[in-house]
Structure 1
Amino acid sequence: MKQLALDIGLSTRPSLESFFCGPNEDVVHHLRLWTSGGTRAPVPTYLWGESGCGKTHLLQAVHMALGEQGLAAGWLDAHTPRAPDFQDDWVAVLMDDVHLYNAEQQHTAFNWFVNALTPTRGSPRWVLAAGQLPPASLSLRDDLRTRLGWGHVFGLKVLDEAERCAVLRQAADARGLLLGDEVMHYVLNRFSRDLGSLMQLLDHLDHYALQTRRALTIPLVRAMLENE
Structure 2
Amino acid sequence: MQLSLPFTRSQQLGFDEFVEAPGTDAVRFLADPGEAHALVVGAPGTGKTHLLTAACQQAYQQEQQAAYIPLADTDTLTPAILQGLASFDLVCVDDLDRVAGQPEWETALFNCYNECDAGAARLVVAGTGAAQEIGFQLPDLVSRLRAALVLRTSPLDDEEAVVALRRRAAFASFELPDAVARFLLRRIPRDMPTLVRALDALAEHTFAEQRKVTVPSARAWLEQQQID
So what's the TM-score if we normalise by structure 1?
0.80
2:151 is aligned, of 138, 149, 154, to 154
The within-5 A match list for 1:36-51 is 39=34, 41=35, 43-51=36-44
Give the number of the structure with larger relative contact order, counting CA–CA contacts within 8 Å between residues 6 or more apart. Answer: 1
| CA distance, structure 2, for counterparts of residue 77 and residue 173 of structure 1 | 26
The within-5 A match list for 1:165-176 is 165-176=162-173
Q: Aligned AA for 2:27? A: V
Q: Deviations over 1:117-140 (max 9, x none)?
A: 12xxxx442111110112331201
Structure 2 contact 37–148 (Cα < 8 Å) conserved:
yes
Where 2:124 maps in the other structure, the secondary structure is strand
Structure 1 contact 116–125 (Cα < 8 Å) conserved:
yes
Structure 1 contact 77–101 (Cα < 8 Å) conserved:
no
Moved more, 173-182 or 75-84: 173-182
1:100 aligns with 2:98: yes
1:59 aligns with 2:52: yes
Identity across the alignment (%): 24
Runs of 4+ in 1 over 4 A off after TM superposition: 9-12
Where 1:129 maps in the other structure, the secondary structure is strand
Q: Using a 3 Å threshold, how does the CA distance of structure 1 residues 145 and 194 change in structure 2: closer, same or farther?
A: farther
Q: Aligned AA for 1:116? A: C
5+ unaligned residues in a row in structure 1: which ranges? 1-8
Instruction: Tell me which residue corresponds to 1:75.
Output: 68
Q: Using a 3 Å threshold, how does the CA distance of structure 1 residues 24 and 200 change in structure 2: closer, same or farther?
A: farther
| CA distance, structure 1, for counterparts of residue 31 and residue 87 of structure 2 | 21
Instruction: Tell me which residue corresponds to 2:221.
Output: 220
1:19, distance to aligned residue in structure 2 (A): 0.9
5+ unaligned residues in a row in structure 2: which ranges? 1-7
| CA distance, structure 2, for counterparts of residue 107 and residue 190 of structure 1 | 45
Where 2:89 maps in the other structure, the secondary structure is strand
Q: Aligned AA for 2:223? A: R
1:184 aligns with 2:177: no
Q: Aligned AA for 2:38? A: T
Across the aligned residues of Structure 1 and Structure 2, the Cα RMSD in angstroms comes to 2.6
Where 2:135 maps in the other structure, the secondary structure is coil
Instruction: Tell me which residue corresponds to 1:112.
Output: 112
- In the comparison of the two structures, how many residue pairs are matched? 209
So what's the TM-score if we normalise by structure 2?
0.80
| CA distance, structure 2, for counterparts of residue 111 and residue 56 of structure 1 | 22
Q: Deviations over 1:22-76 (max 9, x none)?
A: 3265211111122xxxx2x5x3211101011110000011112112323223332
